[in-house]
Structure 1
Amino acid sequence: MFKYLVSLPVLLPSLALAQTTSTGDLLAKVDDDRWSIGVAASVRQSPYAGEGTRVRPVPLLTYEGDRVFWRGLGGGVHLINRNGFRVDAVLSARMDGFDIDDLGQRELRANGIDPSQLSDRDDGLDAGLAASWSSRAGEFKLSALADVTDRSGGYEIAADYAYAFKWGRSTLIPGVGVRWMSDDLVRYYHGTLDEEISRGVQRYQPGSALVPQVSLAFSRPLGEKWRLLGAVDYRFLPSEITDSPLSEPDTDGSAGLRIGITRSF
């Protein structure tokens, strides 16, 4: 039973916190079938001024092969996979972009920003490496991802720990993690761009940022082939993000909820 729990790789960023977290790794392997398909909803308290709660539908398509895997909005290749140690080459969607029209015009003006002078921020695509170690004490993962679409030109290094245990018919997976984002990444999504500054927008170009988070994921079977999956998390936002004129005032964190249903084959 314990071996089943700790050998439970990433489901998807919107359901299992982030594309490369240990919590997501353990959750994705609760179902031992090679294929699964489903749908999820991602609800997150947005840190951006006036956006409120961000809701997104997310497809859940998972394939687990001996070498190749696909999980929701990303996938990769197992380069090393033996004795509880795994190294993967991964590709992951970064869904941090936003349309200016979705932000609060009044809130941005209160922050000293003219919304008409701002540009949208695009989602991106990251690629990199992820290494994980599984043992009786849980799973630890270290990952490094870089923007290959040159939206931000930045990169992120993350460390995560998670532990899975049974509670009745459900599997619960608490986790903790920390992500270090490069200055280019933080400036693109939370600073003001050079093109905006040239239009008269106030200059705000923060440095790199460290974002801790805590999470709890769960999985519960619904019959033989169906499964209910979900996760809650809270991200502690640093001053590099909260001091941004794009941010909601007095915001120091961001809570998220993801829930979905899948059918395995």
Structure 2
Amino acid sequence: MKKRLWSLVLSGLSLNAVAQPGAADEVPAEQHPPRWSLGIAAMVSDSPFAGEGTRVMPVPLVTYEGERFYFRGITAGWRFVSSESFELAAIGKLRFDGFDVKDLGRRELADNGVDYRLLEDRDLAFDLGLGMKWSGRAGELEVELLADATDTSGGQEVSIQYGYPFALGQGQLTPIVGATWQSKDMANYYYGTLDKEVARGVVDYKPGSVAIGHVGFNYFRPIGQKWSLLASVKYSSLPDEIKDSPLIDADAKGTASVFFGLSRGF
């Protein structure tokens, strides 16, 4: 599903490998990321939603890093505080966590007791909030506090991620571990059934607030003065509240994604 792939590429992975502020701290000054970066990447991802399966998709990479303002894929931010060890920014981010009903599997939904004709699409949204980052010898800690500004779900999300970058050959590898909490309004919208669907005869399912853990790594390798090689692998473990949803594949335990790209700075 295209929406979910965009979310995983540009949001779930946060484009850390593209902007790579952590890597910039470890490479010579002349290799620091430039203001503009353009590139192309490929994404392979599985979806937990019933019948979607695995998709392979080429995606563009666009980033801008200014003194205060930055743009990274689907996230824009304005830094209030920026130092070598701490950053605080107001951020806006598109959310593609939903789905188009036409992308779901009719048989898989039927096996879950759901008639696809009774379902509604889950629309994209736009979130506003704060992004914070601490970095030092002990690694990097990132926190995001977001709220749905479009009232699509009317919910909130808090995410936290820790990474420890270290040199690997001529590049930098950053193992990551983190978790995302979604409020009941957000989780009910994306993983539960809507009241209008229940009125049509779909089973009433509301997961309530959920916490989703993830592990993975980002890899960044400068190539000369302008080019960069980027890669990310991420696995998210689904909690029971999501796995029990009639919208989710019966055998889904988690979601995995692999991202590989090449970017040029200007």
Per the alignment, residue 63 of structure 1 pairs with 64
Change (3 A) 1:225 1:256: same
2:3 matched to which residue of 1? Answer: none
Map 1:102-251 → 2, pairs under 5 A: 102-251=103-252
Deviation of 1:224 (Å) = 3.1
Equivalent residue, structure 2, for 1:7: none
Counterpart CA distance in 1 for 2:246 and 2:260 is 31
Determine the C-alpha separation between the residues in 2 that align with 1:146 and 1:113: 30
Cα–Cα, structure 1 residues 18 and 154, in superposed 2: closer, same or farther, change >3 Å? farther
Match of 2:14 among 19, 36, 46: 19
Matched residue of 1:211: which SS?
A: strand
TM-score (norm 1): 0.89
Query: Which residue is 2:256 aligned to?
Result: 255
Deviation by residue 1:223-258 (Cα, 9 ceiling, x = unmatched): 432222110000010011100000001211111111
Q: CA deviation at 1:158?
A: 1.1
Percent identity, please. 46
Any conservation in 1 of the 2:141–2:161 contact (CA below 8 Å)? yes
Instruction: Tell me the distance in 2 between the aligned counterparts of 1:17 and 1:102.
Output: 20
| Distance in 2 separating the partners of 1:227 and 1:233 | 20
CA gap of 1:21–1:160, structure 2 versus 1, over 3 A, is farther
- Tell me, in whole angstroms, the C-alpha distance in 1 between the residues paired with 2:218 and 2:106: 35
Counterpart CA distance in 1 for 2:11 and 2:262 is 13
Task: Point out where structure 2 has 5 or more consecutive residues left out of the alignment.
Answer: 1-6
Instruction: Report how far residue 221 of structure 1 moved.
Output: 2.8
Higher helix share: 2
Counterpart amino acid of residue 199 in structure 1: R
Post-superposition offset of 1:193: 0.5
Q: In terms of mean alpha carbon deviation, does 104-113 or 163-172 score higher? A: 163-172
Give the structure-2-normalised TM-score. 0.89
After TM superposition, the runs of 4+ consecutive aligned structure 1 residues lying more than 6 A away are: 20-24
Structure 1 residues 177-229: Cα deviation after superposition (integer angstroms, max 9, x where no partner): 01111111111111001111111111001110010100111112334322221
**Aligned to 2:203, what secondary structure does the other structure show?**
coil
Distance 2:19 2:33 in 1: 15
RMSD value, Cα: 2.1
Give, in whole Å, the separation in 1 of the partners of 2:108 and 2:88: 44
What are the superposed Cα offsets for residues 89-109 of structure 1, whole Å, 9 maximum, x if unpaired?
111121212111111100000
Residue aligned with 1:261, SS = strand
In 2: Cα distance, 1:25 partner to 1:142 partner: 16
Distance 1:20 1:141, change over 3 A: farther
Q: Distance in 2 between matches of 1:122 and 1:100?
A: 11
Any idea what SS the aligned residue of 2:190 has? Answer: helix
Q: Deviation per CA, 1:120-147: give whole Å up to 9, x if none.
A: 1112111100111111111112210111
State the distance in 2 between where 1:158 and 1:21 align: 14
Aligned amino acid, residue 166 of structure 2: F
Using a 3 Å threshold, how does the CA distance of structure 1 residues 106 and 24 change in structure 2: closer, same or farther? Answer: farther
The alignment partner of 1:192 has SS state of: coil
1:188 is paired with a residue whose SS is helix
User: How many pairs align?
Assistant: 254
Amino acid at match of 2:62: L
